[in-house]
Amino acid sequence: DSFEEQYYPSTCLVMEAGVRVLRRKDAPFNKLPFGRLFPRQKLFRNVKDIKTCAIVSSAGSLAGSKLGRFIDTHDIVMRFNHAPTQGHEVDVGSKTTIRVVNSQVVTKPEFDFTRAPIFRNVTIAAWDPGKYNGTLEDWLTSADYDLFSNYELYRRRYPKSRAFLIDPHSVWRLWQSLQMFAGNRPISKNPPSSGFIGLALLLPHCPQVDFVEYVPSTRLNGRCHYYSKEMNSACTFGSWHPLAAEKLMALDMNMAEDDDMSVFQFGILRIRRPDKL
C-alpha cells in the first residue's frame, strides 16, 4: 500500500470512485448527436492555479454562521441545487463557481432550470442515478427524472455555458466506495446525496477542500435549509440518501489540525487530496 492508502484510506476510496463528467469522446455519446451537446471545455479553467475550494452544504445550521467571508476566499466555491446566495451573503458568501444539481431540479417547472438567473454564468454539473448496473444507453431512456430535454434546451440556449452531465456509473462507483467504508453495515441502495457527489467530483481538481456545515456543528438547529424555515432533521441525518454513512466517511477524511474544534465548533471539514499530503 502507498503512504496515502495506509493513512488516508477513506480519501483514497472516494478518489478511486473516479466521479467525473461525461465527455464527447465517451461511448456511446461519441456516436450520438446528443454527445455533441457536451461542452468541449474542461470542467474547470486553469486547474493548476486552484489551491483551495469550499463546498457549501445547504444545511439549516449555516444560518447565523457568518461564514460568508471565509467561503468567498476560496478559489472555487461549490453550491447545490437552487440554494441561493442573495440575501444570505453574510452566512454563505456570494461567490459561486459550480452548482451540482440533481435531475429533479433540472426538470421540475418550479426551478425553471433553463431560464432562472441562479443557473446562469456558473458551471453546472447535473446528475441522475439511472438504474444500478444499467448501461448508458438505458440511462438515456430511463433516468429517474428525464433531464435530457432541459439539458439540451439549456445548451442550445447558452452554447458557451459550461454545463455538464455527471457520469451515472461514477455515481454508483461512489456508492460502492461508501459501502466499502461502511463495511458489514449495508447502506441503502440509493445514490449518495449531491453533497457527497460534489465532494468526489471536486477533490481530483483541488488540493484542499473545506466542506462547510456538512458534518453538523454545534449550530445544529433542526432546519432543513438555511434558506427556508422548514424544520426537518432528516435533511441533515438522512432518509433516502445514505447520508449518515456519507457524513461518517467525510468526517474520517477530515485533516484539520485541531479537528474537533473546526468540525464541531466552526462547522468546517478540511479534506486534503492525497497526492498533496
Nearest distance from C-beta of residue 245 to ligand NCC, angstroms: 12
- Tell which residue, 145, 134, 190, 189, has the closest CA to residue 167: 134
C-alpha distances (whole Å) from 152 to each of 34, 170, 174, 213, 234 are 8, 22, 26, 33, 33
Nearest distance from C-beta of residue 199 to ligand NCC, angstroms: 9
Nearest distance from C-beta of residue 235 to ligand NCC, angstroms: 4
Which of 10, 97, 170, 194 touches ligand NCC (CB under 6 A)?
194
Q: What does the CA dihedral 143, 144, 149, 154 come to, rounded to 10 degrees? A: -110
Say how many CA atoms lie within 13 Å of 228 toward its Cβ: 10
CA angle (107 as vertex; 203, 61 as ends), nearest 5: 50
Contact pattern from residue 149 through residue 168 relative to ligand NCC, giving x for each residue in contact according to CB under 6 A and a dash for the rest: --------------------
Report the residue number, 11 or 102, with the smaller CB distance to ligand NCC.
Answer: 102
Piece in contact with ligand NCC (CB under 6 A), picked from 19-27, 57-65, 180-188, 258-266: 57-65
Residue whose CB is nearest to ligand NCC in the complex, by number? 195
Paired residues of 54 in beta bridges: 77, 210
| Pairing mode, strands 123-127 and 163-165 | parallel
Paired residues of 223 in beta bridges: 231
Cell (9 digits) for 232: 426537518
Report the residue number, 39 or 195, with the smaller CB distance to ligand NCC.
Answer: 195
**What distance in Å separates the CA atoms of residue 259 and residue 231, rounded to the nearest whole number?**
28
Nearest distance from C-beta of residue 62 to ligand NCC, angstroms: 9
Nearest distance from C-beta of residue 258 to ligand NCC, angstroms: 22
102 binds ligand NCC (CB under 6 A): yes
- The residues in 238-257 that bind ligand NCC, with binding defined as CB under 6 A, are 240-241
Contact pattern from residue 61 through residue 80 relative to ligand NCC, giving x for each residue in contact according to CB under 6 A and a dash for the rest: -------------------x
Cell (9 digits) for 47: 486547474
Q: Which long-range contacts (CB under 8 A, 24 or more apart) does 236-241 make?
A: 236/59, 236/60, 236/61, 238/193, 240/188, 240/190, 241/188, 241/190, 241/191, 241/192, 241/193, 241/196
Piece in contact with ligand NCC (CB under 6 A), picked from 43-51, 85-93, 99-107, 267-275: 99-107
Report the residue number, 58 or 254, with the smaller CB distance to ligand NCC.
Answer: 58
Which of 105, 106, 200, 250 touches ligand NCC (CB under 6 A)?
105
Size of the site for ligand NCC (CB under 6 A): 19
- The residues in 129-148 that bind ligand NCC, with binding defined as CB under 6 A, are none
Nearest distance from C-beta of residue 194 to ligand NCC, angstroms: 3
Q: Which secondary-structure segment (H or E) carries 53?
A: strand 52-56
3-state DSSP helix/strand/coil % of the chain, to nearest 5: 40, 15, 45
Q: Could you list the residues that contact ligand NCC (CB under 6 A)?
A: 57-60, 80-81, 102, 104-105, 193-195, 214, 224-225, 235-236, 240-241
